[in-house]
Amino acid sequence: MYNITFLQIEAFLTIARYQNLSKAADAMFISQPALSKTLQRFEEGVGLRVFFRNNQGIRLTPEGEYLYSTLEPLYANIDKTIETAKRLTTAPARTLRIIESSTYDANPDFDAVKKYIRAYEEKYPDVVLIESLGDFHEIRGELEFGETDLAIMQEFGLVSLKRISYKIVSPFKLFLAMSVEHPLAVYDEPQIDRLSDEVFYRVPILGDEEDRRVTIERCERMGFRPKGIEFVPNFETLQHRLLTNRGLSICGRFTSSGAESVKYISLTGYGDKNNVVIAWRTNSLSSEAKKLVSLIPGEIIDL
């Protein structure tokens, strides 16, 4: 077992998001020297150097990037897990299991579905909600084979699934995202004629080759072909790549720590409309899940 604490993990993740010790210290409400000491103890505890340090600032080492991409989504689940455990101390037999996109708490497009969940909790206080976060692969696996009752995600994450039903909750807006330091960030409209020189990052859904094909087709519908496509394991890593000015992405809008250093240019008018959806296995809707689905207006769509 490695000798590290939750505070040290939080310090590492916060510094990785901001790529700046001063900003990270402000975000954690501690002094910069205290944060540096906490980071030093984290590196000693894991036995790895996780940041390169020089006069220009700090950046993640390859080992640090791997730790960040793995620990960030795990750490995001801790709060939900603890809250669920507290509810279970007096839990009745009735539960509702929901898996949510890893960007659930970092994208305002999920606010509409959160209102329905709050209304559900007020109407059915005797039902315990068991919530967790997952990437596309985890959500798709839970929808097909897991014990989850409902999944809340982006509609494009359902592609190729069968025997799944869902309702559209609200629009999911897509943006051209890049670091505020990127040369194209000075514009408020996508510069289509200059995007062919850029590498685009994407979180995979179906597998590298199929996702590469889908991404290229999307870009060609916009009027360009990207220089390259690179895949990252999750949205936390995607945001980190954007923050460090290492490429562009077509994605939703993040509001988590460090997002103010990303420029988002709306792609409204460039096709590829998408939605936030609530989904379940067809003909496998529990009575508790059915009550939540019934609060959401609209038609049920079957795949």
pLDDT at 87: 61
CATH number of the domain located at residue range(s) 175-271 in this protein = 3.40.190.10
Q: What is the second-level CATH architecture of the domain 6-69?
A: Orthogonal Bundle (1.10)
- The stretches in the chain having pLDDT less than 50 are none
Domain ranges of the chain: 6-69, 92-172+275-302, 175-271
Q: 92-172+275-302, what's its fold? A: D-Maltodextrin-Binding Protein; domain 2 (3.40.190)
pLDDT at 88: 58
Give how far Cα 135 sits from Cα of 7, 85, 114, 205, 218, Å. Answer: 25, 22, 18, 9, 21
pLDDT at 208: 73
pLDDT at 197: 93
The model's pTM: 0.74
